[in-house]
Chains A and B, each alone.
Chain A
Amino acid sequence: MLYDGKEMTDRARFERLALPHMGAAYNLAFWLLRSRSDAEDAAQDAYLRAYRGFANVQGEDVRPWLLKIVRNVAFRKLNDRKRATNVISFDAAMSDRVSGEPAAFQVADEAPSAEDLVIGAGEQETVKRALYALPPVYREVIVLREIEAMSYREIAELIGAPIGTVMSRLARARAELRETLTRMKTKDANDAM
């Protein structure tokens, strides 16, 4: 019975502090995994893990801690997927690419399920497709910066890298987005002719 009371307050506290970040958690998982069903699984796993470790968490702002767990779960899933399909993915993106194919091509086969591929024209769809094509480590910094409006320091803490790494990863990610978008525009123009 002793734990009953403690368990209830912990759960109430968890629900109050952690559940409001469901939107951010799911969004991050979705953009890492590019699949709605996988993102759902990842969000559920992450919340369960978070809950199990919650008793030792202090403070009110649990978002960074929670997103870190989401990120770990999602990357583990990506790794499993990579092992299953034997496709080069984010290890290639982690190393500095000096030559060879742009990353967009290297990871084109990283196998998001077909139903979740973005179909359509419109500007938003074009931007989504370009974001889809980025390697996961680049996708992640873009999503955290642009959609969640996190500072470099927050992102650095979340991904466990120095601020300088965040800066250069974002710079590369943006350069690739820019290239992809330009290429898409040229292609669309050619198709139209």
Chain B
Amino acid sequence: MQTMQCEQADELIGAYIDQELDAETRRQVAAHIGDCPACQTLADDVRRISGQVAAIGRELAPERLMADVRARIAEAGSELESQPRAPLTRWRGYSWLRQAAVLVFVCGLTAAAMALMTSRWADTALMEREVTAAHVRSLLQDSPLQIASTDMHTVKPWFAGRLDFSPTVKDLAADGFPLAGARLDYIGERRVAALVYRRRLHVVNVFMWPSADAIDGGPRGLVHKGYNIVTWTKGGIAYWAVSDLNMGELRQLQALL
């Protein structure tokens, strides 16, 4: 195996930070960064800038836009009434044959895709389900909190003795994400820390546990059952933030943590 050169690493460092590389390339880039101060600096810069851009957040749409769009759709709706949708009927003649063919094709594709799926994807999908379930469960109860406090110096010590690691606790009230408190949860067959932040009327659960991955990575945005999820690894801790909050703002929270 060849050692990686700077020019190659240059192109890959961003994808490395975004966790978009296969395991082998990822290992090579990590090794190169370890040996090359210039690329280490580049990686640090890319990571920092990535956080800075995320912190900008979405440019907010003016409030009247939603009403304007609704109005235009309503207008268009009455236009559409007078135009029957023709193209769909053309298919009906031998549609069952087509449907059967499509079904067979899709089955084949699915089988192929399943075979190709790496264990990491499978893990991620499983984790998505688990953290979403934990988030929803927390909202079904009277309170998602075992300790209600906006003070990080109260919340952080509360975890001592309850977990075998020390989670990151920050009060981000100044940035519009006030800390509501925390609780313990059980995800991936282990105890995890769950911090609860609020954003307007939305509740955000941020789950944390020690990561098997020593390398910082992410963030990755996922959507599961309408919930937005952002996951990343930082300082040996895996983070999963789940909420019905929009992706842009969830990403802002990620950049602050």
Contact = CB atoms under 8 A, between A and B. Distances in A.
Real binding pair: yes
Interface of A: 3-4, 7, 10-11, 14-15, 19, 22-24, 26-27, 30-31, 36, 39-40, 43-44, 47-48, 51-52, 55-56, 61, 63, 123-124, 127-128, 131, 142, 145-152, 167-168, 170-171, 174-175, 177-178, 181
A interface SS class: helix
28 contacts: A11-B77, A22-B65, A23-B246, A24-B247, A36-B59, A40-B61, A40-B65, A43-B61, A44-B69, A47-B69, A48-B72, A51-B73, A63-B223, A124-B52, A124-B55, A124-B56, A131-B53, A145-B18, A146-B50, A147-B58, A149-B219, A150-B221, A167-B14, A167-B20, A168-B11, A171-B15, A174-B49, A178-B46
A24 B13 CA distance: 27
Of A31, A123, A174, the most chain B CB neighbours within 10 A belong to A174
A149 B255 CA distance: 11
B14 A171 contact: yes
A89 B26 CA distance: 35
A61 B227 CA distance: 12
A181 B49 CA distance: 9
A147 B254 CA distance: 11
B46 A152 contact: no
A148 B248 contact: yes
A23 to B, nearest CB: 5
Interface residues of B, number: 50
Contacts of A131: 53, 56
B220 interface: yes
Interface in B1-25: 10-15, 18, 20
B20 A178 contact: no
A59 to B, nearest CB: 12
Contacts of B56: 124, 127-128, 131, 147
